[in-house]
A and B are shown apart, each in its own frame.
Chain A
Amino acid sequence: MTDITSADPMVLTAAPPRREIGIKRRYAAERRFRLYGILAISFGVIFLLLLLWSVVSKGYTAFLQTEITVPVTFTEKVIDPQNTRATNPAVLMAANYPVLARDALAKELGVDPADRAALKEVNSMISASVRVQLRDIVVNDPSVIGKTVPVKVLAEGNVDAAYKGHIDLSVPESDRKISDRQLGWIQQLAAKGELASRFNTGLFVNGASSRPEAAGVGVALIGSFFMMLIVLALALPIGVAASIYLEEFAPKNRLTDLIEVNINNLAAVPSIVYGLLGLAVFINFAGLPRSASLVGGLVLTLMTLPTIIIATRAALKAVPPSIRAAALGLGASKMQTIFHHVLPLAMPGILTGTIIGLAHALGETAPLLLIGMVAFVADFPATPLQPSTALPVQIYMWANEAERAFVERTSGAIIILLLFLLAMNIGAVILRRRFERRW
């Protein structure tokens, strides 16, 4: 193509004098406005980081636990002074095991067995959970009595905190939870390698405990797992079925309108109201047990349904009509068209919505408080009908505990919860990226 140069004889003249339209002032306003936007976003992002930092900095040490390795002598005189265990096994259950651990540690530290004050301080370095720990060793294998076995016992919460450096040593000794002498012992044991931090598996497998060092989210994890299973098993099929009906079959009438309005409103009902519903209907009316993860699962199912339905309908809507037309044109029934073609194509979107709904349900606390999941449960539930608790509820209970060591546990549990949520959301994003189709 040839360029055409305008063969115009005329010329440009200088511009007329500028009008004053307040450019400077207006651009200052423009910059200010823009700045507000940047400030607003930074504010949000900064608080997100602050929140995460506050949780992580408080909680990462919860994944380590201080343990003391001591050679415990299972003295018969302490465990079974009358030697009646053959006839009365209950003796082994009730024996004074903490004394064994205390004496073992005192010997290790070279403390005079007659110094009662020192013995008391030694005793307070070992977690009270040692009773159960030693008892289980003896009950499982009574032949251990009379022998000396090295045992890893949990350090008491304050020792744990001191070893991790959480305790302010500039405070006068009398106001501190740990004495100078105990600090000395800690160093002594640490130097010998008998006191050390290890990865805290107890945090993941233990149940509730009044001692922070022995408390874990094990029961809560099982409870949350049961609930998620129930939500998945109920909410996904019901939600998909409901969406298919509303999107593909529902006639335009009052009933359909009513259902639509209902779903939109249910999505916005405060979660605590679902707790009231669960309490009144599932527990009071239907007589299901309190604190059971079955009830929690049912409540969360009702709460998650609207989310899943809304996501599923969007996914179904995104499948182009040409697919439907093609299948119908081959003589497939409407039902066949939907189940053979439309639904599989919409599946990535449906699953993404479901995962996000599940993630919300996993973090939900308020309704579970009302159906009695605020419970001290130390034993693992075997079925969804047994009492259990849930991860966020466990966090709530620990947050209400006064002890400093529980703040660390709480933050640790929050980290676990956030990691689960992160994993679920990443899963959803991957699903969307991989299978998202653009029509």
Chain B
Amino acid sequence: MSGSVVLLCVLAIGIVAFLLGRLRANALAGPKLSNLHSRPVYYGGFVAIWATLPALLLLAFWSITAPSVIQSSVRGSFPAEVLAAPQAEQNLEFGMITSIARGMKLLSPADAETLAGDAATVRTLLSAKGVPLAGDPKPYMLPAADELNRLTDRSNWLMTGAAVLAALGGLVYALRAIQPKLRARNRVERVVLGALLGASSIAILTTIGIVASMLGEATHFFSMVPAHEFFFGTVWDPRFAAAGSGGSEGQFGLIPLLAGTLYIGFVAMLFAVPIGLFSAIYMAEYASPRVRAFAKPLLEILAGIPTIVYGFFALTTVGPFLRDISAQISGLVTGDYANFIQAQSVITAGFVMGIMLIPYVSSLSDDIITAVPRALRDGSLGLGATRSETVKRVILPAALPGIVGALLMTASRAVGETMIVVLAAGVAARMQLNPFEPMTTVTVKIVNQLTGDLEFTSPQTLVAFALGITLFALTLCLNIYALYIVRKYREQYE
């Protein structure tokens, strides 16, 4: 019986439990509902929780622990020469056994008879059923697979039995516990509260998941490539090694990627900051309500457009346009119509990313500028300052910390942006300063290393996690610092 069927069983029992609980509560109450401490639904809920919660916990615990218990039991019966092999190899062997076991379940009894034959027929037989094997199975594997299937079956039956028993037991216990004085509502609410707390701790779990998973894979990587070569290496050349050749000979220097990331981010900010800031100032200080109501949503549309669309825009419109215009310019100046701007370049990616960031800069700064108290504005205007003098000399200095925070947040977006640079920045990991040449970024390389066939043992794949944790740490620092600044700023005016 599969896990989902058991789950449905338990839930069905839960529904029955709810109905029974409510029925019993009504019966106990007699003509006057106020005899009960809580309304009947809460008694129903109380019984349903008793019926389902322990059973579900049991199910979860069982399905997490059982496979590893079974695995260690099966592995315990490996032949001695296999047990002597290194851990990684044993893992591969066990992987094959699980494949065989999966295949054996698909076979008809007649086929299963012939399975006892030699290894090669097993392989052809299984691949005919859609279960390809990586190599010829060794003789000991067939009984092991059989054992694995047997144990899994037994475990499943036991689990089903235990879960259903637990559900029924909980139901009976809770039904007997129902009395008019029972504070069913309080108990149900306590469980709900627990569920709410559980939901909010998912945020923490996600963070732990991110850090743990990436740190885990990255440590793997650093065991193959020394950390200082990664963090201080100036050459990125991972050499896609063929599977199994175990090539850790590639060079994994972070510096060129980081340089590209920061350079493109810088160019993007160069476009986004003045435009975004001036838009925000205009909206906050000059625009009439009508202009504001019209222009603000228009700019916000820019924030709602998916980044893949920006990437496509850069790839098919901005890049070719810059390339052609540069060819024209050099033609006019030197007579030689050679383009000096590449279609994929720092300037293309930076410019388009800059457009994408305009709404972030403008809406964050707008919030911060409007948070400057009116009294300061009036004070300056009352002295005879013009609007622009007030903005430049009073409002911007007063809002400066907040704006710096906003810009840091925007910068972290620029650093983490992926699709625009994947399509518009190029893949060449180079260290150079010409903005018209392609460069590449951390995010581009994460995508490059992880699309296509994956092998979770090669440094070529695992380096993506090292890049990821670097990116995560970088954006996290920027954000925490930015949030800190912005919070300080808000406190100043509250």
Contact = CB atoms under 8 A, between A and B. Distances in A.
Interface of A: 21, 26-27, 29-30, 32-34, 36-41, 43-45, 47-48, 50-51, 54-55, 58, 237-239, 241-246, 249-250, 258-259, 261-266, 268-277, 279-281, 284-285, 302, 305-306, 309, 333, 335, 359, 362-366, 369-370, 372, 374, 392, 395-396, 399, 407, 410-411, 414, 417-418, 421, 425
B121 interface: no
A280 B216 contact: yes
Nearest to B185: A333
B386 interface: yes
B152 interface: no
Contacts of B443: 270, 272, 366
B295 A392 contact: no
B171 interface: no
B308 A395 contact: yes
Contact of A48 (B302, B317, B475): B302
Interface string B276-308: 111101110010000000010011011011111
Given A48-B302, A263-B203, A421-B306, A39 B278 contact: yes
Interface in B397-436: 409, 412-413, 415-419, 422-423
A12 B454 CA distance: 90
List of 10 A-B pairs having minimum Cβ-Cβ separation, nearest first: A270-B416, A37-B282, A363-B306, A241-B199, A280-B213, A40-B278, A242-B200, A33-B388, A245-B196, A366-B418
Interface in B184-208: 185-186, 189, 192-193, 195-204, 206-207
Contact of A249 (B193, B277, B409): B193
Nearest to B285: A37
Contact of B308 (A44, A363, A370): A363
Main secondary structure of the interface of B (DSSP, over half): helix
B302 A44 contact: yes
Contacts of A265: 207, 476, 479-480, 483
Contact of B355 (A47, A259, A273, A374): A47
B203 A309 contact: yes
B91 interface: no
B311 interface: yes
A332 to B, nearest CB: 10
Contacts, number: 256
B275 interface: yes
B275 to A, nearest CB: 5
B274 interface: yes
Interface string B21-52: 00000000000000000000000000000000
Interface in B305-346: 305-313, 315-317
A246 B475 CA distance: 25
Contact of B451 (A47, A264, A370): A370
Contact of A414 (B186, B309, B388, B456): B309
Nearest to B409: A268
A40 B275 contact: yes
Contact of A277 (B206, B274, B301, B309): B206
A58 B304 CA distance: 21
Chain B interface residue number, banded: 35 or more
A280 B217 contact: yes
B206 A302 contact: yes
B472 A44 contact: no
Nearest to A392: B308
Given A242-B200, A279-B450, A395-B308, A273 B302 contact: no
Contact of B475 (A239, A242, A259, A270): A270
Contacts of A407: 316
A313 B304 CA distance: 22
A37 B277 CA distance: 8
Given A305-B202, A366-B447, A33 B309 contact: no
B304 A26 contact: no
B104 interface: no
Given A271-B416, A365-B306, A399 B200 contact: no
B298 A45 contact: yes
B209 interface: yes
Interface stretch (B75-83, B137-145, B244-252, B463-471): B463-471
B23 to A, nearest CB: 22
Nearest to B298: A45
A82 B206 CA distance: 64
Contact of B203 (A29, A44, A48, A306): A306
Given A41-B295, A266-B207, A365 B419 contact: yes
Contacts of B355: 44, 47, 51
26 contacts: A37-B282, A41-B283, A45-B295, A51-B305, A51-B313, A51-B317, A54-B316, A238-B199, A242-B202, A250-B200, A266-B203, A270-B417, A272-B418, A272-B468, A273-B471, A277-B213, A285-B213, A302-B206, A333-B186, A366-B307, A369-B447, A370-B450, A392-B308, A396-B423, A417-B306, A418-B309
B387 A270 contact: no
A262 B199 contact: no
Given A41-B282, A48-B301, A410-B312, 8 more contacts: A45-B298, A264-B483, A270-B413, A273-B472, A275-B446, A280-B213, A395-B309, A396-B311
B111 to A, nearest CB: 23
Contacts of B386: 26-27, 29-30
A250 B197 CA distance: 8
A374 B184 CA distance: 51
A259 B207 CA distance: 10
Interface of B: 185-186, 189, 192-193, 195-204, 206-207, 209-210, 213-214, 216-217, 274-279, 281-283, 286, 295, 298-299, 301-302, 304-313, 315-317, 355, 358-359, 362, 384, 386-389, 391-392, 409, 412-413, 415-419, 422-423, 443, 446-447, 450-451, 456, 464-465, 468, 471-472, 475-476, 479-480, 483
A421 B300 CA distance: 13
Nearest to B483: A264
B358 A44 contact: yes
Nearest to B423: A399
B147 to A, nearest CB: 21
A268 B189 contact: no
A258 B274 CA distance: 35
Q: Which of B199, B217, B298, B447 counts the most chain A CB atoms within 10 A?
A: B199
A253 B216 CA distance: 30
Contact of B464 (A58, A237, A276): A276
A270 B419 contact: no
A406 to B, nearest CB: 11
B4 to A, nearest CB: 12
Contacts of B197: 245, 249
Nearest to B300: A425
Contacts of A273: 210, 214, 416, 468, 471-472, 475
Given A55-B309, A272-B443, A280-B214, A333 B203 contact: no
Contacts of B384: 21
A235 B358 CA distance: 29
A242 B468 contact: no
Contact of B416 (A48, A55, A269): A269
B210 A269 contact: yes
A413 B278 CA distance: 34
Contacts of B468: 272-273, 276
B302 A369 contact: no
A38 B316 contact: no
Contacts of A245: 193, 196-197, 199-200
A45 B358 CA distance: 10
A366 B330 CA distance: 37
A33 B316 contact: no
Nearest to A407: B316
B276 to A, nearest CB: 7
A55 B304 contact: no
A80 to B, nearest CB: 27
A395 B311 CA distance: 10
Q: Which of A44, A245, A265 counts the most chain B CB atoms within 10 A?
A: A44
